[in-house]
Amino acid sequence: MIFDDLTNWSRYFKGPVFDDIYQKLMAMTTDTKNGEYHRTDSYYFKVMSYDTINEPTTIESHKREVDIQIVLAGGERIKIYNKDNLKITTPYSEDTDCQFYKALKPAEMEFMLKPGKMAVFFPQDIHGCQYTLSNKVETIKKIVIKINEEFFAH
């Protein structure tokens, strides 16, 4: 997992594909409509808006795609879980590239994702998003860039 300032993008992501992704990301604003953008064989963007929740129940991981999550407006807490403290509720699906869990113990860590920050989740990073920042529900605007995991294998 990576959690850092978006301005540090080039420290983590090098090469033409990542340069292209960054240029497209910088063109997106809070006025960008929800939906999927820039779909290629290597990556695509999902732009979404949703309300944060005090106690969301979605905990997930992926195998094929790495998530880069950026909030354009608002903010949310994201929790990271240890696989040994979870029960699988929905087995991995090739179609959705998701496996879902229920927490048996509290999260290992959490952080606040706000504009200007990025969170990167690799296949081993089991995460739960959508938590309120301070028990106050707010609508956020978020981009999730889904990148083929093969770009990260060395």
pLDDT digits (tens, 9 = 90+) for 5-48: 999 999 999 999 999 999 999 999 999 999 999 999 999 999 99
pLDDT digits (tens, 9 = 90+) for 57-74: 999 999 999 999 999 999
Task: Give the burial string for 91-113 (b: 16+ CB within 10 Å, else e).
Answer: eeeeeebbbbbebeeebeeeeeb
pTM for this model (two decimals): 0.94
Parallel, antiparallel or unpaired: strands 76-81 and 86-93: unpaired
Task: Return d(Cα 6, Cα 57) in angstroms, integer.
Answer: 27
CATH class of 2-152: mainly beta
Nearest partner of 146 among 38, 54, 4, judged by Cα: 38
CA dihedral sign, ordered 10, 16, 20, 21: negative
3-class DSSP assignment, residue 4: strand
All structural domains of the chain with their residue ranges: 2-152
pLDDT digits (tens, 9 = 90+) for 62-116: 999 999 999 999 999 999 999 999 999 999 999 999 999 999 999 999 999 999 9
